[in-house]
A and B are shown apart, each in its own frame.
Chain A
Amino acid sequence: MNEEKKNKRTNMTKLKNIALALAFVPSALIAQERFATRNGHIHFFSGTAVENIEADNNKVTSVFDATSGAIEFAALVKAFEFEKALMQEHFNENYMESNTFPKATFKGKVSGLSAEQAKIPGTYAVEVTGDLTIHGVSKPVTTKGTMTVEAGGVIKAKSEFSVKPEDHGIEIPGVVRKNIAETIKISVDLAYAKM
């Protein structure tokens, strides 16, 4: 009788231990290889015969999940810095309407870099597909880029693509049509750190 009780208790303890261990398993099993940055860089360039317009944003946030391939970006429109203060004001007030649409975002998938590869240093050619939302209007975008895995959980990512302002409902009045390119070149350059 006593023996039985003892046995039962041991069994219980064993079971408890297993359950406890199980509790931690899922997070370990699907431990996601996630990478993030708060100070990514986006540069855009509009080149015409009349003038070149460019701006930089060094406060781009992005999270990349190597396990699922999911990637997201967010850039505060007001954080784009221009050479001319007036250009910056017009960019925000007249074109991007940043009070109404404060952020430009991208949400998509990366193919070409698996969670395993994200642990092996090297440069990988990747393709990114997803939705780019600028000025409140979303457009599908597919582009190529590179991801360089470095030691210490750092991944450097680079890509270039172009967007058309009209695709995102940004009106360009006749008087300045010659000053603003039809397609704007965008380059993305960021260094992720392991989350």
Chain B
Amino acid sequence: MMIRTALLATAFLALPTFGQDNLLDLLGEEETGPVYTTASFKTTRVINSHSLENTAHGVLDFRISHRFGFLSGGVNEFFGLDNADVRLGLDYGISDRLMIGVGRSGFEKTVDGFAKFKLLRQCDDGCGMPITLAVVASSSMTTAPAKDVPWYGPGRQDYFSHRLSYSWQMILGRKFSEGFTMQLMPGVVHRNLVELASDRNDLLNIGVGARAKLTKRLAINAEYFHVLRDPVPLYTNSLSVGFDIETGGHVFQLHFTNSTGMFERAFISETTGRWEDGDIHFGFNISRVFTLHNPKKKPVE
């Protein structure tokens, strides 16, 4: 009995050494750290609003955003192409989770700045996190003369604090597949000064943004912001649809939007265009990145 067992054992001991098909299996499972999902959006903006993407650590992103006039301007305004609003911005990735940026817009001559931090990051492998959660805090200051700012109104004292507005936003998103990403953006815009006593200083809003990839280098994006406020005759909700085209170091975003301004206060609370009336801007964002510092580079051995 013992002999038979021993012989059997012999047979089995010999087997694995001959039958080894994959040598690498001998190493067992690889221990890799968490692999975070990448390329959920082509760039750090969906269209006007922030996407769940950050500028990578050490990368400077120069952004030129441009909105022509309303298509409803007709032939006389060359369908909006005679006018343009521009925002020039510089964003920088302090780490892979934290980015900051500043911008200057022609719209109400506004300077804005923001910080975006990723609290949770969706993982492909190595951790079970199904979503990305980011927070964006931004503020803006108009530098236009008081008489040119619609919400100043006549006879109002021009305090510095009146010129400031803030926005806080939470971005809750997931890359569902290679081709589809969606995010929800609940937030609040605080305006130190508003036009009418009946308008609130704090506006709760919720945005939704999504992108679908058409090809490897072309995606279609859309975003919509619903502002929770009593109907104000002038203002509408922001809706934008556009394409992302990627060519090497650039991303071109071409889109149609009813918002004129390109910072939170402007596009969330001061959108005046109505899609149904043809109040649509054709616009584009161009992003060009520069690697200022490479955190991964190790000294040569």
Chain A interface (Cβ < 8 Å from any Cβ of B)? 15-16, 19-20, 22-27, 30, 32, 34, 36, 38, 59, 61-65, 70-72, 74, 76, 78-79, 81, 83-86, 89-90, 92-94, 99-100, 173, 175-176, 179, 195
- In terms of DSSP, what is the predominant structure of the interface of chain B? mixed
A36 / chain B contacts, CB cutoff of 8 Å: 26-27
Which one of B32-40, B190-198, B204-212 contacts A?
Answer: B32-40
Bound form: Cα–Cα A29–B6 in Å:
17
Interface centre among B24, B124, B246 (most CB of A within 10 A): B24
Which one of B55-63, B138-146, B267-275 contacts A?
Answer: B55-63
Bound form: Cα–Cα A62–B9 in Å:
30
Sorting the interface of chain B by its residue count into under 10, 10 to 19, 20 to 34 or 35 or more gives: 35 or more
- Are A89 and B22 touching (Cβ within 8 A)? no
A173 / chain B contacts, CB cutoff of 8 Å: 217
- Are B39 and A93 touching (Cβ within 8 A)? yes
**24 contacts across the A-B interface (CB closer than 8 A):** A15-B3, A16-B3, A20-B6, A23-B6, A23-B7, A30-B14, A38-B27, A61-B24, A61-B30, A62-B24, A63-B26, A64-B23, A72-B24, A78-B35, A81-B296, A84-B294, A85-B289, A85-B291, A86-B59, A89-B38, A89-B39, A93-B38, A93-B39, A179-B248
Closest to A71 in B: B23
Nearest chain B CB to A54 CB, angstrom units: 11
Bound form: Cα–Cα A166–B44 in Å:
31
- Are B38 and A27 touching (Cβ within 8 A)? no
Bound form: Cα–Cα A69–B212 in Å:
48
Closest to A28 in B: B13
